């Protein structure tokens, strides 16, 4: 169905710690509609990050398939899957993962510069526009070490949007922020999702903001509930 951005069937993933097998995801079926915001909440160790990484094309499941924007992503070569990730998805991490030696504007531009046909001037202009959108016009030339956690996460959000993704995956996006900054980050994410018809998938152990999403699922011991 083409109104689905993500469709995943019977996802399973185990890890081995010596001889011990850890079943992190135990058979997840999941769909996310175009433009929908979905929260997946559960305690630490429930399998949230593993599930999100599988959906976003970062972690090959042991079993099951993920269809993202019409592409069966784990049937593609690693190279083709990397291209799809760069063009169709954005990803937000708990600890921002900005490059410390680059300015805010340079960090935001980076994913655009990976594109073979990228025009640097256009990428810079777009980075500045996105930083304005997240309220950071005054921080274009600041490095991550000169910004607060909330500001760094805003830079990461701007970076995630530079290639105009269809879906944004967020792993504990406010896990390192206080409640005021957390609220501001979620308002920004939901606002951007609504404004641009951007599909949003958030995993978090904090259920507090889940009511603002279109839909919420729980996960416990590797099973969606």
- Residue with smaller CB distance to ligand ADP, 24 or 89: 24
- 179 neighbors 2 (Cβ within 8 angstroms): no
Q: C-beta of 47: minimal distance to ligand ADP in Å?
A: 4
Burial class (CB in 10 A: 0-12, 13-18, 19+), 157: buried
- Minimum CB distance to ligand ADP, residue 14 (Å): 8
> In whole angstroms, how close is the CB of 184 to ligand ADP at the nearest point?
23
Distances in whole angstroms, Cα of residue 81 to Cα of each of 6, 89, 142 = 15, 11, 33
Residues with Cβ within 8 Å of residue 166, at least 6 apart in sequence: 5, 34, 69, 88, 89, 198, 199
Q: Does 48 bind ligand ADP (CB under 6 A)?
A: yes
x-or-dash string of contact with ligand ADP, 3-22, rule CB under 6 A: ------------x-x----x
Please answer whether residues 165 and 159 qualify as being in contact, where contact means their C-beta atoms are separated by less than 8 angstroms. Answer: no
Contact between 57 and 66 under an 8 Å Cβ cutoff? The reply is yes
Give the one residue of 44, 77, 78, 211 binding ligand ADP; rule: CB under 6 A: 44
Point out which span in 37-45, 82-90, 142-150, 175-183 binds ligand ADP (CB under 6 A): 37-45
Q: Does 204 bind ligand ADP (CB under 6 A)?
A: no
What does the binding site for ligand ADP look like in residue numbers (CB under 6 A)?
15, 17, 22, 24, 42, 44-50
């Amino acid at each position: 169905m083409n109104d689905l951005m993500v469709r995943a069937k019977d996802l399973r993933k185990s890890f081995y710690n010596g001889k011990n097998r850890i079943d992190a995801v135990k058979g997840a079926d999941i769909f996310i509609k175009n433009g929908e915001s979905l929260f997946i909440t559960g305690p630490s160790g429930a399998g949230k990050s593993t599930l999100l990484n599988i959906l976003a094309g970062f972690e090959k499941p042991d079993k099951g398939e993920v269809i993202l924007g019409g592409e069966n992503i784990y049937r593609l070569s690693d190279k083709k899957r990397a291209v799809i990730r760069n063009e169709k998805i954005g990803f937000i991490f708990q600890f921002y993962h900005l490059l410390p030696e680059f300015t805010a504007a340079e960090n935001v531009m980076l994913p655009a510069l990976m594109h073979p046909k990228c025009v640097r001037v256009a990428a810079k202009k777009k980075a500045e526009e996105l930083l304005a959108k997240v309220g950071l016009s005054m921080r274009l030339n600041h490095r991550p070490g000169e910004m607060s956690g909330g500001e760094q996460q805003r830079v990461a959000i701007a970076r995630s949007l530079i290639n105009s993704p269809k879906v944004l995956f967020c792993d504990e996006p406010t896990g390192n922020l206080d409640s005021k900054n957390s609220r501001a980050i979620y308002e920004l994410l939901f606002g951007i999702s609504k404004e641009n018809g951007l599909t949003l998938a958030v995993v978090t152990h904090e259920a507090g903001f889940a009511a603002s999403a279109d839909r919420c699922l729980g996960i416990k011991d590797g099973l969606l509930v």
